Structure 1
Amino acid sequence: MNAKTVLPAVAMTAVSMVLTLAVVMMWLGEAVPWPVALIVGLGIDGGWLATLAYERRLAAQGDHSPAVTGVGWCFGLLAAGVLVAHALTSEESAGAWLAVAWLPIAAKALWLVHGLWERTALTPAALGAIRGIQQEARDEAAVARARLRSEAATEETRLTAVTGAGARVARVQAKTAQTLSRAWSTLEATREGEDTGRALTSVTTRVTPGVTPRWELPVWGPVEPVPALTLDAPPTLTDEALDALVDQIRHSESPALSYREMASRFRADGHSASEVRLRAAWKRVAA
């Protein structure tokens, strides 16, 4: 990329210097001796080339001088002005000279572009790292998109399966309810029918004479709750019985048990007492 920006600038600068020298030789060659015209042309080109070289040296050092840049633009404008003046005073080929009068300005612009490229250029290692980061970001984005598409397809499959199972359950429930409704209607019609009652009465009259049976089918209704079983609470120990029990547990081993050990064994044996009463009994026995 360096050659792509510097070669056009070098070529256009060289063409501009040659044209400037030729115009000065033709323009001043008739008025002054040709060595003088050659010195003037070389002076313009040399000053332009010197300022350009100094500006490139500062750029290579990472520095920049507005004064040097201004002098270089002045030489470029001077060369362009010489070409324009020659084109305006020339009776022949004035259009051709005007067509090339912009070359010095274009050469300076190309050097400006080349300087901007140098200040923003990156090394191959940095460019490789940037390409690696971009590729990694693209890979992560592609993986994330694939994961989202897979999760969406899985969720869609799951919802389809759940919806289908729910529809099947609803159909089975509806069919079962319809069957139960028809069966219950049949039973209800049988219970309420007069022929059924007479038939059952004629069958049971010989078994239970003088008794008219009542045939009724079970009817759905509210369920009466069964009362919960109540357990008798253990009797409450008196202070004297509690003190005796605490003293017995405390001295069941030698040396005597601590309060924590005594309380654990007291409750493990199935006895019941509040912590306040148990600690008070302990204090009384220990005293």
Structure 2
Amino acid sequence: MRAKTVLPAVAMTAVSMVLTLAVVVMWLGAAVPWPVALVVGLGIDGGWLATLAYERRLAAQGDHSNVVTGVGWCFGLITAGVLVAHALTATGSAGAWLAVAWLPIAAKALWLVHGLWERTALTPVALDAIRGIQQEARDEAAVARARLHAEATTEATRLAAVTGAGARVARVTAKTAKTLSQAWATLETARAGQETGRALTSVTARVTPGVTSRWELPVWGPTDPVAVPALDGPALTDEALDSLVDEIHHSEVPALSYREMAARFRAAGHSASEVRLRAAWKRVV
């Protein structure tokens, strides 16, 4: 990297010194002997080269002198001024000389760039360490991005699965609820029908003559298991059954519900069909 900045500066400085020497010899050769013109040209180039060498020595020591830098820029401006003056006084080739008049200033600028590079240059070890740190940071960033992407993909997949399962459960629940509602609507219609009781009574009258049964369809709601004891002993009459149901129903305050009354009725050892027990409950209540 050092050669990339110092070689252009050296080459442009050498070209500028050769052009300055040639211009001074051609310009002053007509007025003074050519050895005198040669000495003047070498003096300008020598002064420029000496200040440049001293400036580079200070830079190598880590030092800087504004006076030396100013003298070097003065020699560069003098060289450029000589080239411009020669271009303005020359006949037939003024444009060509003006085209190269900026070379001394460009040479000084290149030396300035080279000096800035030297003040900020790092050793190969430091550059390798910096490259390693940067590569490690890039690796960590890439791993973090990959991890976040994987987590986002997993979360999206899980959410899609949960959403799909919830939708399926909701559809099945809705379908089941619709079917049950239709079934219970049918049962309710049958319960409310005026001919339902008569039809059931006409059927059971042939099986249980002399017993008037009241038929009721199942009721929608939770059910409690009840213990049904063995049906031993004589069947209770309607009056005795009504008396027992009334006694159990009003045994506590507030009065017991049908389920509680039925459970205590059967727990006490009494026996009666569910139809008769419910009929007695309705008559009492």
Same fold, judged at TM 0.5 (above)? yes
| 1:29-56 deviation per Cα after TM superposition (whole angstroms, max 9, x unaligned) | 2322333222211111111000000000
Specify the code of the residue in structure 2 equivalent to 1:17.
M
Distance in 2 of aligned mates of 1:84 and 1:215: 129
Map of 1:153 onto structure 2: 153
TM-score (normalised: structure 1) = 0.72
Map of 1:140 onto structure 2: 140
Question: Residue 75 of structure 1: CA displacement?
Answer: 0.5
Distance in 2 of aligned mates of 1:174 and 1:93: 100
Q: How does 1:91-106 map to 2 (within 5 A)?
A: 91-106=91-106
Map of 1:215 onto structure 2: 215
Specify the code of the residue in structure 1 equivalent to 2:76.
G
| 1:53-104 deviation per Cα after TM superposition (whole angstroms, max 9, x unaligned) | 0000111111111110000000111111111112222224222222211111
Tell which deviates more after alignment, 74-83 or 22-31.
22-31
Specify the code of the residue in structure 2 equivalent to 1:183.
A
Distance in 1 of aligned mates of 2:132 and 2:92: 60
Question: Residue 208 of structure 1: CA displacement?
Answer: 5.0
Map of 2:18 onto structure 1: 18
Map of 1:2 onto structure 2: 2
Map of 2:87 onto structure 1: 87
Distance change (3 Å), C-alpha of 1:193 and 1:95: closer
Contact 1:87 1:93 in 2 (8 A): yes
Question: Residue 221 of structure 1: CA displacement?
Answer: 6.2
Specify the code of the residue in structure 2 equivalent to 1:150.
A
Question: Residue 130 of structure 1: CA displacement?
Answer: 1.8
Distance in 1 of aligned mates of 2:147 and 2:90: 75
Distance change (3 Å), C-alpha of 1:98 and 1:205: closer
Distance in 1 of aligned mates of 2:91 and 2:192: 133
Distance in 1 of aligned mates of 2:209 and 2:54: 138
Distance in 1 of aligned mates of 2:222 and 2:172: 26
Specify the code of the residue in structure 2 equivalent to 1:116.
L
Q: Does 1:198 align with 2:177?
A: no
Distance in 2 of aligned mates of 1:54 and 1:99: 29
Distance in 2 of aligned mates of 1:46 and 1:135: 49
Quote the sequence identity (%).
84
Distance in 1 of aligned mates of 2:104 and 2:96: 15
Q: How does 1:181-260 map to 2 (within 5 A)?
A: 181-205=181-205, 207=208, 209=210, 211-220=211-220
Question: Residue 184 of structure 1: CA displacement?
Answer: 1.4
Distance in 1 of aligned mates of 2:182 and 2:105: 103
| 1:148-170 deviation per Cα after TM superposition (whole angstroms, max 9, x unaligned) | 22111111111111111111111
Distance change (3 Å), C-alpha of 1:186 and 1:32: same
Distance change (3 Å), C-alpha of 1:44 and 1:193: same
Q: Which runs of 5+ in 1 are unaligned?
A: 227-287
Q: Does 1:76 align with 2:109?
A: no
Question: Residue 134 of structure 1: CA displacement?
Answer: 1.8
Contact 1:191 1:215 in 2 (8 A): no
Specify the code of the residue in structure 1 equivalent to 2:100.
V
Tell which deviates more after alignment, 86-95 or 197-206.
197-206
Question: Residue 147 of structure 1: CA displacement?
Answer: 1.3
Question: Residue 205 of structure 1: CA displacement?
Answer: 3.6
Distance change (3 Å), C-alpha of 1:20 and 1:175: same
